[in-house]
Amino acid sequence: MASMKILAEDRKRLEAEIADIDSRLRVVVNEKVASHEGGDVFHDAGFKNLSNEEEALMNQRRTLVRMLDMAEVVEPDLETDSVCLGKIVTYRFSDGRVSSARLVGIAIGACDTSLVSARAPLGVALLGKKTGQRARYEVRGRKIEVEIVEVSN
């Protein structure tokens, strides 16, 4: 199985997301048991909705566990001036907007714009770049270019 490089903080986020899903699963299963006590669940739309939610949560959990199983935890290279896992990158879009993000192995859970996954198009484009260089990537058919303004720890 191919290894996926992640930071220790990525591993903690994955583990926290799995724990959150486990908590939500317990609630759903308890609600299913409570609704089952009423008798015929075959025609019960609420029971079917709970079953669908349980299945979706189980699928999410399996995906995250697979990611965790494939993960190789690495330390950030603090000595390099190139973009790599763990570095904070400040970049400028062609329209002048400036943004900063920390490059991580996996960005999961709620949208956190301060993190960019090294597997996302922007992350792939940024990897290995240095201050002053340009990175090009494509999202939904749209070509985007950014200039690396700063790379820091």
In tens, the pLDDT along 105-118 reads 877 755 667 889 88
Q: Is the pLDDT of residue 32 over 70?
A: yes
E strand residue ranges, the chain = 4-6, 71-73, 88-93, 98-104, 115-117, 134-139, 142-152
Q: Is the pLDDT of residue 39 over 70?
A: no
Domains in the chain and their CATH numbers? 4-73 (1.10.287), 88-152 (3.10.50.30)
Q: What is the 3-state secondary structure (H, E, C) of 80-110?
A: CCCCCCCCEEEEEECCCCEEEEEEECCCCCC
pLDDT (mean) for 142-151: 95
In tens, the pLDDT along 57-86 reads 999 999 999 989 988 888 877 778 899 998
- Given pLDDT bands bounded at 50, 70 and 90, which one contains residue 136? very high
Tokens of 144: 């985007």
pLDDT on residue 72: 86
